[in-house]
Amino acid sequence: GLKKKEVHVLCLGLDNSGKTTIINKLKPSNAQSQDIVPTIGFSIEKFKSSSLSFTVFDMSGQGRYRNLWEHYYKEGQAIIFVIDSSDRLRMVVAKEELDTLLNHPDIKHRRIPILFFANKMDLRDAVTSVKVSQLLCLENIKDKPWHICASDAISDPGCEDMKR
């Protein structure tokens, strides 16, 4: 049969933001895992949609592993960047990591698409996706296609159209 087009996706963002939970929800239901633990280093997830074959690099967001991210930038064709919308204290750290990413030589001059998830919208302390996009200064990203979705990765993955 026809070979599906392969896409390499990088999933980035601080620890505890919900990256692994979101990736898990994007998988077909029979491939989803029930309990999710903090990622050590990174994990490679492969799954297919109707037309594409995805390889997702689900990176750990813990400080001690963030230096691993850049080794995968070259082969990444799309980025998912997840933010814990309820973690106001660390929003500035998320912005620093995003700025470092955007200024990296393997990312800076490429029109690589970025999908932001303003995650944990179900929590009382969560700020809106508009506020997240202001706090991260997303309007300054002019040379890459990007989009931000509000999500609650536990009860509803948000952005159902991701799966199509």
Contact residues: Mg ion, CB under 5 A: 19-20, 39
Residue from 62, 72, 141, 144 touching ligand GTP (CB under 6 A): that is: 62
For the bound state, the minimum distance from the C-beta of residue 163 to ligand GTP, rounded and expressed in Å, comes to: 17
Is residue 16 within the footprint of ligand GTP (CB under 6 A)? yes
CB atoms within 10 A of CB 112: 19
Q: Which does 70 bind (CB under 5 to 8 A by kind): Mg ion, ligand GTP, none?
A: none
Q: Which residues contact 44 (CB under 8 A, 6 or more apart)?
A: 55, 56, 57, 58
For the bound state, the minimum distance from the C-beta of residue 93 to ligand GTP, rounded and expressed in Å, comes to: 13
Binding site for ligand GTP (CB under 6 A): 13, 15-21, 36, 38-39, 60-62, 82, 119-120, 122-123, 152-154
